[in-house]
Structure 1
């Protein structure tokens, strides 16, 4: 009788120990990084889509914007399924760049003759990298941002001249932008996302990056 009782107690202890180990294993897993959501495309329903088939860790959809070290300039970078666009602006000078994104790294160049190169490493906290523009070299840090922050662009044809406006908006409300009239640049009016901008006698319709990504990356 005592032998059976002892065996029953031992069995109960073993079962309790195994159960406790399972609970600990399930609850002691590290939480997913807050920025991990950038690694997935969001479906209209709000559900995450499946990871990219190539297993490339680069986010399929992510937007970054931040400051250029030692300068009043801002920089913005957006990634969409292996393609990327970038923009640098200090209110006087600006440059648009495009290129590819792979293995959590982007390499962007300006159109032919633009003399600009951007390289950046991506992680859940944002993008850090370098920009060479003309004779100048800059370093930047650009955290992940969500609309209405980020990159905007507007284009128009006026009396045969191309008008192109660009804006970078940060989460704290700071922004910088420039408008090019036939290649002559000037500071852009302040942007209120979702509203048109008027400069001189021209009305521009700034759009978020998804509206012009294919144009700048050639589809």
Structure 2
């Protein structure tokens, strides 16, 4: 009996001790969950990459390659063009020699000399009350011509002598005479004389041969001879 009673007493004592040392989970549950700690660390904004810098595979940086602008095609050093002004029927000629350019328009009634520089594939030449813009390429010159109030488009293929542009100058009876001629590969030609500011019909041109106007000899020249002096 003593042994059994002692066991009962011992068991009761262990139960009480266990109840006292158990965690207070009910208290935590009743109070709810504790708020999470707020982070005080501030995020650092990422650096914007410099488009002018490229990052290599090993992490090193090098300047990004630059894209160079395309250079304009240069004008030919020597070229001759001749063609028809659309809607007018007159002829247009253009000659280029070492950076200088001269153009001539003539329809047998009106003429115009224009000049300028040739430093690219696009040219702009000017004359008295006249303007011509030209694009060179594919073996031809094409663009727009304005003489006074008249405006025309034109296409002038490359030509070789005896085709092309000719010019003659002289003094006849005290008046300065300047003649211009354009010859096409098919033999068609047109020309006009400026006699002291007035127009006069030009004699027919035979390339390489002189002609006579009112008793005075005229010697039409190719651009190689007259263009440097313009």
2:128 maps to 1:136: no
Mapping 1:10-89, distance limit 5 Å? 56-89=73-106
2:180 maps to 1:166: yes
For structure 2, the 5+ residue unaligned runs are: 1-70
Q: Do the aligned residues in 2 keep the contact of 1:84 with 1:99 (CA within 8 Å)?
A: yes
- Evaluate the alpha carbon distance shift between residue 120 and residue 55 of structure 1 in structure 2; reply closer, same or farther with a 3 A threshold: closer
- Residue in 2 that maps onto 1:210: 224
CA shift for structure 1 position 55: 8.2
2:115 maps to 1:98: yes
Larger Rg computed on CA atoms: 2
Q: Do the aligned residues in 2 keep the contact of 1:74 with 1:89 (CA within 8 Å)?
A: yes
Q: How far apart, in 2, do the equivalents of 1:185 and 1:125 lie?
A: 33
- Residue in 1 that maps onto 2:199: 185
Q: How far apart, in 2, do the equivalents of 1:174 and 1:84 lie?
A: 23
Q: How far apart, in 2, do the equivalents of 1:117 and 1:85 lie?
A: 12
- Residue in 2 that maps onto 1:4: none
CA shift for structure 1 position 71: 1.4
TM-score normalised by the chain length of structure 1: 0.70
CA shift for structure 1 position 191: 0.4
TM-score normalised by the chain length of structure 2: 0.67
2:169 maps to 1:155: yes
CA shift for structure 1 position 204: 0.6
Q: How far apart, in 1, do the equivalents of 2:120 and 2:220 lie?
A: 31
Q: How far apart, in 1, do the equivalents of 2:119 and 2:152 lie?
A: 22
CA shift for structure 1 position 130: 0.5
Q: How far apart, in 2, do the equivalents of 1:78 and 1:142 lie?
A: 11
